Amino acid sequence: MLSPKKVKWRKQQKGRMKGKAYRGNRLVYGEYGLQAVTCGYLTNRQIEAARIAISRETKRGGKVFIKVFPDKSLSKKPAEVRMGKGKGSPEQWVAVVKPGRILFEVQGIPKDISEKALRLAMYKLPIKTKIVSKEAMEQ
């Protein structure tokens, strides 16, 4: 699973997910990619599940690039605990995703196989996504 080796602060504030992604919104390495349409959090388990789905469908041919990293900690208080007494302990790592962000890229795989693999990865993610290609983005 993806998670940071070391962080400066264990707990983070929630923040806001407004606006669209200005960074990481273009295909850089691959010919086809998965682009976020809505905003949300992607946990390290969801990213891993999508990666496995892509690599299984492509039969480990070509190359898969993961363009998001879960570097934000989400804390949670245990069940049936009274209010107060501080913030809960960090439970999971998430990546903050804004609309337009490229999540995965594939390279060296034919169009039909790569689109099928990315479609399988779409089903594993909690946000709406679409498949984009390099030639369609350059026009």
pLDDT score of 139: 74
The CATH number of whichever domain residue 123 belongs to comes to 3.90.1170.10
- pLDDT tens per residue across all 139 residues of the chain: 899 999 999 999 999 999 999 999 999 999 999 999 999 999 999 999 999 999 999 998 899 999 999 999 999 999 999 999 999 999 999 999 999 999 999 999 999 999 999 999 999 999 999 999 998 877 7
Residue where the block lists tokens 């898969």: 64
pLDDT score of 31: 95
Domain that holds residue 132: 32-74+91-138
123: buried, middle or exposed (CB in 10 Å: 19+, 13-18, 0-12)?
exposed
Overall number of domains in the chain: 1
User: Is 53 domain-assigned?
Assistant: yes
User: Is 81 domain-assigned?
Assistant: no
User: Is 39 domain-assigned?
Assistant: yes
pLDDT score of 60: 85
Q: Round to whole Å and give the CA distance between 125 and 12.
A: 23
